[in-house]
Structure 1
Amino acid sequence: MSVRLRRIYEPPEPDDGLRVLVDRLWPRGIAKEAAQVDEWPKGLTPSSELRTWYHAGEGSYEEFRTRYEQELEAPEAAELLDGLRTSVRDGRVTLLTASKKPEQSHASVLVELLGG
């Protein structure tokens, strides 16, 4: 019934519900067992080109968001997003990211699109 965003470097909590890693690359320094990730839908992450463009500081967060939302309209990404919406309706979902500023990342876009 709810979605929240956490950094993957924070220890898992009992009320996390379904833990979904929303980064394309596995985070450095985190063992897979310790992360307790339930799902890792790489097709839901921004393309390498978009990620590189954004991290190079070539555009604003608003422009990144617009481009990312366009990428999410692709069939695979749209299907994965619909699957997450179903999971959110069924219970708590925690989106995990290694981003240092999750509020200005693709993960915050996902939280909003999922109704969090």
Structure 2
Amino acid sequence: MSHKILLKRIYELQEEQDGYRVLVDRLWPRGIKKEAAHLDEWAKEITPSTEIRKLYHQGEMPFEGFSQAYIEELNGNKAAEEFVGKCQNLLESQNLTLVFAAKNEQENHAMVLREWLRRRLRTRYQ
């Protein structure tokens, strides 16, 4: 795996270095036309459940609790396991950019997903 898993807000311009672009939000971002998003995939099935997403955004769940709950969801999600395999293949030839709409670029579900993917991809080589 010689390429990177990148994070980018959907409101940022697409760049050649983005490689394969995947929207990792359950809801379509406001104000963005599908043609303008330049996405290769919309992976709704690997996003946080509505329940934990709402708890986190309403301030009823700290980021650490949200992260743990989301990782548990990913670990039990067959679509997420299939996504790991797809990512492994993609990363052999290009970067993978996880595209998200969250305003908070320091604490969001895309960060959790990227770290989960990195750990899963490492264990596939051991």
- The question of a shared fold, defined as TM-score above 0.5 by the shorter chain, is answered with yes
The answer as to whether partners of 2:71 and 2:116 remain within 8 angstroms in 1 is no
TM-score, normalised via structure 2 length: 0.85
Unaligned runs of 5+ in 1: none
Cα shift readout 1:43-84 (whole Å, capped 9, x = no counterpart): 110011111111110111111000000000122222223322
CA RMSD of aligned residues (A): 1.6
Question: Letter of the aligned partner of 1:115 in structure 2?
Answer: R
Say whether residues 1:82 and 2:85 are aligned partners. yes
Q: CA deviation at 1:112?
A: 1.4
The answer as to whether partners of 1:65 and 1:109 remain within 8 angstroms in 2 is yes
When the two structures are aligned, how many residues end up with a matched partner? 116
Q: Write the distance in 1 (CA, Å) between the matches of 2:117 and 2:91.
A: 7
Superposition pairs of residues 42-81 of structure 1, within 5 angstroms: 42-73=44-75, 74-81=77-84
Aligned to 2:41, the other structure's residue is in SS state coil
Question: Bigger relative contact order, structure 1 or 2, given CA contacts below 8 A and separation 6+?
Answer: 1
Say whether residues 1:107 and 2:114 are aligned partners. no
The answer as to whether partners of 1:20 and 1:40 remain within 8 angstroms in 2 is yes
Q: Radius of gyration: which is bigger?
A: 2
Q: CA deviation at 1:89?
A: 3.5
Say whether residues 1:16 and 2:44 are aligned partners. no
Runs of 4+ in 1 over 6 A off after TM superposition: none
Unaligned runs of 5+ in 2: 120-126
